[in-house]
Amino acid sequence: MLRSVLKWMDLPPVWLAVFAALAWVQTTRLPVGQPGPAVVDLAGGLLVGGGIVLIGLAAHAMMQARTTLIPHRDPDALVTTGIFRRTRNPIYLGDALILAGLMLRWEAWPSLILLPLFVWVITDRFVVPEEARLRDHFGAAFDRYAATTRRWI
């Protein structure tokens, strides 16, 4: 039972929530400096909004292709259209944008060092295994796609 619970907890939104919670704790328990200018607040909001849009576009493309949105499952299709023409991982990129935006909005400046750690965790836990599954399922088609489309941006 514990293994089943841990499996379902090992999902990108959970990792995003954990890193966001760490930033929230930092900014509420250990605030640093003065509030930033309004433009920083605006940038944070735009990053959060942009991340949500990216995730929505990617989810729509994947649903259109009738393939899974759930990590660690075998894909039914190689999605290379829409937002997937620009980045191989728009959902994870959206997660990173949301996290960065929240950190800016909350003025959690020291927590910004968590952003590269979040990207590393997502890459290690999800991106690399997913790309291996895509390569196994789609072979040369995935290799051609990976050669022309960046992993992140």
What are the tens digits of pLDDT across the range 41-67? 999 999 999 999 999 999 999 999 999
DSSP state of 83: G
Of the pLDDT bands very low, low, confident and very high (cuts 50, 70, 90), residue 35 is confident
pLDDT at 23: 97
pLDDT at 141: 97
Q: Looking at the chain, how many residues does it have?
A: 153
Residue 118: name the closest of 98, 137, 140 by CA.
98
